[in-house]
Copies of this chain bind each other. A is one copy, B any other.
Amino acid sequence: MKLASISYRGSDSIAVAVDDDHLVNVKEAMVACFGADIETPADMTALLAQGDNGLARVEKAIKFIHENPSKATLIPQSEVAWHPPVRKPGKICGIAMNNSASNERKISAPDHPAFFLKPASCLIGHKETIAIRKYYGSVHPEPELAVIIGKTMRDVSAAEASGYIAGYSVMNDITGNGMRAEDLFQYWAIYANEDNPDETRRVEQHLSYAGRYKGSDTFGVLGPWLVTRDEVRDPDDLAVQCHVGGEIIAEDNTRYYNYKVAELLSFINQFHTLHPGDVVSCGTAFKPSANRKSIHHANFQHVAGPVSVTIEGLGTQENPIVIEDKEIGAWRLG
């Protein structure tokens, strides 16, 4: 199923794509199939919290509508406003430098996945506007496969991880690489000595902080929908394209990720519990396109939108970009 969070004629709902042009409201389908007493999920997070049973009920209801098309309203996809399929994920983990195309640029790197967090507040849906302010500096798109968790997971091995996935979506992990270059520290970190913890030593360390450059408002496009796990044969072999202003700037495949989807989930959940609705964005698919343009050319401050990301089997998201000619406000006192 392709499960979307939409707004249609002023009301929010979850809906399922029933053909290339139409959706059906999940609540309407469930009531038609199971009767007016059926409990219906308030939103995608509530649906995912019901686990496989919840998704099976929706699937049955949609099958009923396919067999009884008069029982539900066909909603034209062209007339809805798209929210991110999960509107307020508990967390969004973004994997850093997970593409083998970036390996030759690494001077030193950990031998395991590394990740940052994006806030739910940065998310927008398909067709919503990406708003970039002049003072953000250079900002570029990063097309990524997003995994949406279906069951609470902790200490699950890679071999078992795929059973915890609700489905997949497309993420544009928009990145302020101008701010990234600013939010760097070189400093003397203090560590306790191993042999005598009462003594400390100073270690030169470079740290950087992703709060601004990965989390500013509209820096995460998720959607158009969540495609359930059963419809994706192999998440580790999906073609990815990204276009900006009609020009292709990335042609890649998730098979070039250094770490596979199941490995990423398993690694993260040895540290963090993953909950239903949490999102893991698997890293940028940025191999330059045949025209040799790459995401690094696509500074939104200079290159006009829209930006689109397509992943095989998961659909296309497309978003306009506006540049707000705005100065940063008075954030210092006195």
Question: Which A residues have a C-beta under 8 Å from some C-beta of B?
Answer: 88, 90-91, 93, 96-97, 102, 105-110, 112, 114-122, 135-136, 138, 154-159, 177, 180-192, 197-198, 200, 202-212, 215-217, 260, 262-263, 266-268, 270-275, 278, 294, 296-297, 299, 302-303, 328-333
A187 touches B105 (CB 8 A): yes
Residues of chain B within 8 A of A274, CB atoms compared:
121
A107 touches B215 (CB 8 A): no
Among B116, B135, B204, B211, point to the contact of A93 (Cβ < 8 A).
B211
Determine the residue in chain B with the shortest Cβ distance to A179: B271
Residues of chain B within 8 A of A138, CB atoms compared:
191-192
Distance in Å from the Cβ of A262 to the closest Cβ of chain B?
6
Tell me how many chains of this kind the complex includes: 2
A266 touches B330 (CB 8 A): yes
A333 touches B262 (CB 8 A): yes
Distance in Å from the Cβ of A46 to the closest Cβ of chain B?
14
Determine the residue in chain B with the shortest Cβ distance to A210: B116
- From known contacts A91-B119, A138-B192, A330-B159, infer whether A204 and B107 are also in contact, taking CB-CB under 8 Å: yes
Q: Which of A105, A114, A156: most chain B CB closer than 10 A?
A: A114
- Name 9 extra pairs, CB < 8 A, besides A112-B182, A114-B185: A105-B188, A108-B186, A117-B215, A119-B272, A121-B274, A121-B275, A177-B191, A184-B207, A192-B299
